[in-house]
Amino acid sequence: MGIIRNFVKQGRDLSQRFRLRQPQVFDAQAAVLRKLIEKAQDTEFGKAHGFKELYFSHNIVKDFQKAVPLGNYSTMHPWWQRAYEGEENITWPGRTDRFALSSGTSEGASKFIPVTKNMLKQIKRTSAKQLLAIARSDLPKEFMTKHSLMVSGSTDLQFNGINYSGDLSGITTENLPFWFEPFSRPHKRTRKHRDWEQKIEEMVSEAKKWDVGMIAGVPAWIQILFEKIIERYDLNTIHDIWPNFKVYIHGGVAFGPYKKAFEKLLGEEIYYYETYLASEGFMAFATRPDAEGMALQTNSGIYFEFVPFNEDNFTEDGDLRPNAEALTILEIEPGVEYALVISTNSGTWRYLIGDVVKFTSSQNLEVVITGRIKHFLSLCGEHLSVDNMTKAISLLGDEYSAFMPEFTVMGIPYKGKFAHHWYIGCDKELDREEVKAKLDNFLKELNDDYAVERNHALHDIIVDLIPNQLFLDFLKQKGKIGSQNKFPRVLKGELMNEWKAFIAEHQTQAAVSL
């Protein structure tokens, strides 16, 4: 009977999956891929990989996978460097004159990602689709006439004599549709500021003149802006100055750890929409308030592939194994973690973007970002993801009614075995050993592999509670202060050593001041 029940269940699951538009979306994605290949067939990359012949393939998806190997920034960089130096027709037709400085976290040197006119056009179209989805929500009719506040990078892009570069948010804000400009805030002069603190100060000064209905930006910086406005004008909540504020669009980092503290700054409930706009393109957005996942944009100039995020395909350091295989959208399953691979109309080809996603619903092709391929811990088989970490910190914050928006963790050798060393931002006085025990238990509940290894090679966890401001101070020291920068949730290598030195210096200064 057990075998029969299992067989029926598998059949029901299969039936459900193929009732979910996957075959139709696969066909649409194949059409996107064929169009990309047609457009790029005479580029240097297209010539090197046989795009002209590939365009006529009867099985373009499989043949594309054979012709172009999976890669990442290091494999695309030699091509993009040529485009950056002014050469034309390298990975996309014509000359690319815009490059996004990849922000991500504070780690490593900046990466230059090409942003073509075709990509900017697609981002505008996807943004319009997102606005339409929001407009269909239960909002007042006059909502769309209110101001939209976009807390983005500087629109004053750096020019090297050949091309312009800056945050993607700055590039896209510089290229707003003409019809949206009258509703957009802050004003152009403020958007140009490269000095982030000056930009915040000007927004605070102008705040009373605006009738804001919608806000977009990274949670940590929006919260700082709200706090400064409330303090400047002696308000109780942000709604005292912006009574029509109804929608917050967030992205770039999990919102869970910020939500409770964020809502304390509000005077009424608002709608939350998550968005997935990366330096490489506009991947997905939530189509309804508080949706668990974001609808993947499968007809917006991006061809998606998915590499199962497991030991068969990735090393313990998050490096792609030589025999790794990517799946199409027809083959994905809900609840499984995948490293996202994209090919785009910015001349990005089979590129591991670095994010790990999971489909919450294949019916709507909705995804959540569960972490980064380099930001997970598996020293001894514990397979701890950023998603596990974020949920555990959220539970911890709830347990103590404490604001814990920032954290980072590193794996270390410890007493002949291993340990995880946590740094948690918390301005509330708590018992560190008690916090450690509760965090450990939450992680065991969330991750079976972690629970097993805590009885074996993962000897202990170490928890340091530190002021939240230290995370921002470290970003500032690294020159990464600004709207699109986030603190890395997992520290490894040189960045880990820099953080340890930074914390040691702070502790020394604190001891001296006592």
User: Tokens 């972490």, residue?
Assistant: 371
> How sure is the predictor about 408, in pLDDT bands with cuts at 50, 70 and 90?
very high
More confident residue, 481 or 281: 281
More confident residue, 490 or 8: 490
> How sure is the predictor about 347, in pLDDT bands with cuts at 50, 70 and 90?
very high
More confident residue, 317 or 108: 317
Q: Classify residue 116 by burial, with Cβ atoms within 10 Å: 0-12, 13-18, 19+.
A: buried
Average pLDDT over residues 295-301: 93
pLDDT higher than threshold 90 for residue 231: yes
Q: Classify residue 452 by burial, with Cβ atoms within 10 Å: 0-12, 13-18, 19+.
A: middle
> How sure is the predictor about 107, in pLDDT bands with cuts at 50, 70 and 90?
very low
> How sure is the predictor about 208, in pLDDT bands with cuts at 50, 70 and 90?
very high
What average pLDDT is seen over the chain? 87
> How sure is the predictor about 109, in pLDDT bands with cuts at 50, 70 and 90?
low
Given this model, what pLDDT does residue 381 score? 74
Task: From the options 3.30.70, 3.40.50, 3.40.630, 3.30.1330, give the CATH code of 119-153+168-278.
Answer: 3.40.50
pLDDT higher than threshold 60 for residue 1: no
Given this model, what pLDDT does residue 42 score? 97
What pTM was estimated for this model as a whole?
Answer: 0.80
Q: For 424-449, write each residue's pLDDT tens digit.
A: 999 999 999 999 999 999 999 998 88
> How sure is the predictor about 106, in pLDDT bands with cuts at 50, 70 and 90?
very low
More confident residue, 338 or 193: 338
Given this model, what pLDDT does residue 351 score? 97
Domain with CATH 3.30.300 in the chain: 386-513
pLDDT higher than threshold 90 for residue 229: yes
Q: For 13-37, write each residue's pLDDT tens digit.
A: 444 443 456 788 999 999 999 999 9
- Tokens standing for 164? 């312009």
Given this model, what pLDDT does residue 510 score? 59
Domain with CATH 3.40.50 in the chain: 119-153+168-278
pLDDT higher than threshold 70 for residue 486: yes
Class assignment of domain 386-513? alpha beta
Average pLDDT over residues 402-423: 91
Q: Classify residue 351 by burial, with Cβ atoms within 10 Å: 0-12, 13-18, 19+.
A: buried
- Cα atoms in the Cβ-side hemisphere of radius 13 Å centred on 400: 21
Average pLDDT over residues 400-406: 91
Average pLDDT over residues 138-157: 83
Q: Cβ(113)–Cβ(280) under 8 Å?
A: yes
More confident residue, 413 or 13: 413
DSSP annotation of 324 reads: -
pLDDT higher than threshold 60 for residue 389: yes
User: Tokens 């489909």, residue?
Assistant: 359
